[in-house]
C-alpha cells in the first residue's frame, strides 16, 4: 500500500515520466520529465534497508514496483542507517553528485529516537528542502512520527515540523507518515 500511495503521489504531482522512451533529464513545459526520471532517495535505515538482504531495501523495491507498472525510474539509494537530519544535510551535496531529477526525503526518525530537539531537525530539513528547491528539483517529503516514550508534547512538536515544512513549500509533495501501513504490522517489522 505504501508503494502504491507513493507511486500515486509521484504520478499525480508530475514526478513520474509520461514517456519513458525519451531522453533523460529533459523537462517539458508543464514541469514533467520527458524521459526516465532518476529518483534520489535521501534517507536513513528505512530507505537503506537495514537488516535486509541486498536489493530488498526501499529504493530498489520502489524502483521494481514502478517498473512493473510501466514507469522507468532508476533509483539512487542514498539511505544511511542511523542517519539523522543533520547527517542527511551534511551529505546532501555528495548525494546530488549523481544528478537526480527528483528527490524523496525520508529523514527524522533517528532524530526522534534520540530525542533531539524538533527545532534542530526542522532547521536541517528546511536547509535540505531549500537547497533542493534552489536546484529546481521536485521533492517528496516523507513525514515521520516520534516514538511515544518522549511524551505527547514532544510528539506534537515533532509531527508539526513535517506539516509546517510542507505547508510553507507548496511545491513539495508531502506524504505525512512514511511508515503508514507498515509501523503496526508485525510481519513488516524486524
Reported as half-sphere exposure (CB side, CA atoms, 13 A), residue 127 has a value of: 15
Distances (CA, A) of 131 to 29, 31, 92: 23, 18, 9
d(C-alpha 19, C-alpha 119), whole Å: 41
Does 13 have pLDDT greater than 80?
A: no
Q: Are 76 and 105 in contact (CB under 8 A)?
A: no
* Mean of per-residue pLDDT scores for the chain: 82
At 173 the three-state DSSP class reads strand
Q: In what order do the strands lie in the sheet with 139-142?
A: 75-79, 39-43, 102-106, 139-142, 173-175
Give residue 106's pLDDT. Answer: 96
Cell of 141: 517529503
Instruction: Report the percent of the chain where pLDDT is more than 70.
Output: 78
Q: What is the pTM of this model?
A: 0.81
pLDDT in tens, 90-104: 999 999 998 999 999
pLDDT in tens, 89-145: 999 999 999 899 999 999 999 999 999 999 999 999 999 999 999 999 999 999 999
* DSSP structure class, residue 187: G
Query: Considering all CA atoms of the chain, what is the largest pairwise distance in Å, rounded to the nearest integer?
Result: 51
Give residue 165's pLDDT. Answer: 98
Give residue 104's pLDDT. Answer: 94
Name the β-bridge partners of 6.
none
Q: Are 125 and 85 in contact (CB under 8 A)?
A: yes
Amino acid at each position: 500500500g505504501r508503494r502504491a500511495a507513493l507511486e500515486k503521489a509521484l504520478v499525480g504531482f508530475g514526478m513520474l515520466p509520461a514517456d519513458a522512451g525519451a531522453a533523460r533529464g529533459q523537462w517539458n513545459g508543464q514541469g514533467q520529465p520527458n524521459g526516465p526520471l532518476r529518483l534520489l532517495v535521501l534517507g536513513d535505515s528505512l530507505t537503506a534497508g537495514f537488516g535486509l538482504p541486498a536489493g530488498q531495501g526501499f529504493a530498489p523495491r520502489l524502483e521494481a514496483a514502478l517498473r512493473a507498472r510501466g514507469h522507468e525510474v532508476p533509483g539512487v539509494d542514498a539511505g544511511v542507517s542511523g542517519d539523522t537530519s543533520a547527517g542527511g544535510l551534511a551529505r546532501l551535496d555528495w548525494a546530488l553528485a549523481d544528478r537526480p531529477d527528483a528527490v524523496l526525503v525520508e529523514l527524522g526518525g533517528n532524530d526522534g529516537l534520540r530525542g533531539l530537539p524538533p527545532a534542530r531537525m526542522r532547521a536541517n530539513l528546511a536547509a535540505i528542502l531549500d537547497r533542493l528547491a534552489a536546484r529546481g528539483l521536485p521533492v517528496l517529503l516523507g513525514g515521520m512520527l516520534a516514538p511515544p516514550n518522549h511524551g505527547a508534547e514532544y510528539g506534537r512538536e515533532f509531527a508539526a515540523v513535517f506539516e509546517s515544512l510542507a505547508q510553507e513549500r507548496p511545491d513539495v509533495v508531502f506524504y505525512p507518515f512514511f511508515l503508514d501501513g507498515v509501523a503496526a504490522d508485525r510481519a513488516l517489522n524486524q
